[in-house]
Amino acid sequence: MAHHNNGMTRDEKALMQALSRAISVVPRVLDADLQRDQQLPLTDYFALTYLSEAEGQRLRINEVATRLSMTISGATRTVNRLEALEFVARERSASDGRGADVVLTDVGLKRLKAAWPSHRDSARRRVLDRLDANELAVLTKALNSIGAEPDDFDSADCPPQS
Amino acid sequence: MAHHNNGMTRDEKALMQALSRAISVVPRVLDADLQRDQQLPLTDYFALTYLSEAEGQRLRINEVATRLSMTISGATRTVNRLEALEFVARERSASDGRGADVVLTDVGLKRLKAAWPSHRDSARRRVLDRLDANELAVLTKALNSIGAEPDDFDSADCPPQS
DNA sequence: AGAATTTACTTGACTGGGCAACTATAACAC
DNA sequence: GTGTTATAGTTGCCCAGTCAAGTAAATTCT
């Protein structure tokens, strides 16, 4: 009967639990679906997607990192993987020799196109089909405000990523 | 100008992007807040919370795993960490000698109570304050349906966790 | 009761991604 | 131009968590 109160309302607690569950479950099932059907990790799939949508099918590493919500070093490793599979190539930038552009190759684009249907179906089954139009709209807006940049700075130190 | 269509509507794509961003960002910021203020990883905090809410402040490993949406082996390692810190103890179950109950210790409960305010504030700042009452309700419901068990079985093999 | 199966973990090997330290180029100060 | 600082990536080390294989207790079959 020990009843501990952590200072949230019942509704707030319910939200936080639903959120942490979704946060654990969703990426796992989407990744598992894609790995099973296409032997392609979800992260790599997203990276290819962002490249395919980019101007000239190319992005700087740091843009890859931003889009994947990942550190630059994480993005480096992701690009390494994709490069080993020849889905992308690094091209030393003409304008800035410090880093390279990551360019989507034909092989990479083919691979992505082959994977689309699988991911689309997976997203439908796991997520989209479970929401009505109103939920979809509200959820998108809510998740966007939640995912937005911290905007805190109440505490002094703000050492960002490496 | 290359315009690739992956077979989702604009709204659906927007949702999936908002979702993957939130999925990357939320756990990272909540964990970072708690680590900074309390030197306690978010996973460990949740484990302690679930134990504190459980009947007799004790859970079987597999119940810890379920609540954390983690594999049993992941839960084993989490409990190992908490045990090393003496926040929990393993007690061989009287009724079933195959595994142990995980019991919250006084030290663990104190630690949890000390961490509550920090996590509550963090959750407020990062999540709750950014939602109005309606969004909170819709979001909770939507995330719960998304996080719910797959209910698929369209494909033959369903090898669950180890 | 003894054998076979199932359950409840535990453990070893591995992977993805984070952080901090490092390298190389660029930009700025003078 | 040379020295200083900032920027873009890369790399070594580490940790959390997964998977597959192993162990031990419990349950079921006969």
Q: Which of A15, A46, A55, A158 to mutate to test the interface with B (most CBs of B within 10 A)?
A: A15
Query: Which nucleotide shows the minimum CA-to-C1' distance to residue A72?
Result: D9
Q: pLDDT tens, A41-53? A: 999 999 999 999 9
Section B106-118 average pLDDT = 96
Lowest mean pLDDT among A83-87, A96-100, B47-51, B124-128: A96-100
Q: In the structure encoding, which two tokens stand for residue A133, read together?
A: 């139009």
- On average, the pLDDT of chain B sits at 89
Whether residue A90 has pLDDT greater than 90: yes
**Position of tokens 């962002």?**
A50
CA distances from B45 to A54, B38, B52, B115, B136 (A): 40, 10, 11, 8, 23
Q: Which is more confidently placed, B152 or A107?
A: A107
Amino acid identity of residue B35, one-letter, is Q
Task: Give dist(CA B133, CA B110) in Å, integer.
Answer: 32
At B95 the pLDDT is: 86
Distance between first and last Cα of chain A:
47
At A96 the pLDDT is: 87
Whether A10 sits with its Cβ under 7 A from any strand C atom: the answer reads no
**B142 to A123: CB separation less than 8 angstroms, yes or no:** no
Section A23-29 average pLDDT = 95
Give B63's contacts (C-beta < 8 A, 6+ positions apart): B50, B54
Task: Give dist(CA A142, CA B111) in Å, integer.
Answer: 32
Whether A94 sits with its Cβ under 7 A from any strand D atom: the answer reads no
Give the minimum alpha-carbon distance from B67 to chain A in angstroms, rounded to a whole number. 8
Q: Which is more confidently placed, B17 or A1?
A: B17
Among B7, B46, B144, whose Cβ lies nearest the Cβ of A18?
A: B144
Share of chain A above pLDDT 70, in %: 88
Q: Nucleic chain C: which protein residues 18-37 of A have CB below 7 A from it?
A: none
Nucleotides of C under 7 A from a protein CB: 7-12, 16-22, 24-27
- CB environment A83-92: b (16+ within 10 A), e (fewer): beeebbbeee
CB A22 within 8 A of CB A14: no
**Structural domains in chain B?**
31-137 (1.10.10.10)
Give A129's contacts (C-beta < 8 A, 6+ positions apart): none
Q: pLDDT tens, A91-110? A: 988 888 898 999 999 999 99
Q: What is the Rg, in whole angstroms, of the alpha carbon atoms belonging to chain B?
A: 19
Whether A100 sits with its Cβ under 7 A from any strand D atom: the answer reads yes
Whether residue B2 has pLDDT greater than 60: no
**B135 to A141: CB separation less than 8 angstroms, yes or no:** yes
Task: Give dist(CA B154, CA B149) in Å, integer.
Answer: 14
Q: pLDDT tens, A109-147? A: 999 999 999 999 999 999 999 999 999 999 999 999 998
CB B40 within 8 A of CB A162: no
Whether residue B155 has pLDDT greater than 80: no
Whether B71 sits with its Cβ under 7 A from any strand D atom: the answer reads yes
At B94 the pLDDT is: 81
At A3 the pLDDT is: 54
At A153 the pLDDT is: 40
Q: Which of A28, A122, A146 to mutate to test the interface with B (most CBs of B within 10 A)?
A: A146
Count the neighbouring beta carbons within 10 Å of the beta carbon of residue A129.
Answer: 10
Whether residue B19 has pLDDT greater than 50: yes
Q: In what order do the strands lie in the sheet with B100-104?
A: B58-60, B100-104, B88-92
Residue B127's nearest CA partner among A116, A72, A143 is A143
Report how many Cβ contacts below 8 Å link chain A to chain B. 170
Q: pLDDT tens, B42-81? A: 999 999 999 999 999 999 999 999 999 999 999 999 999 9
Report the SS3 class of residue A47: helix
**B27 to A27: CB separation less than 8 angstroms, yes or no:** no
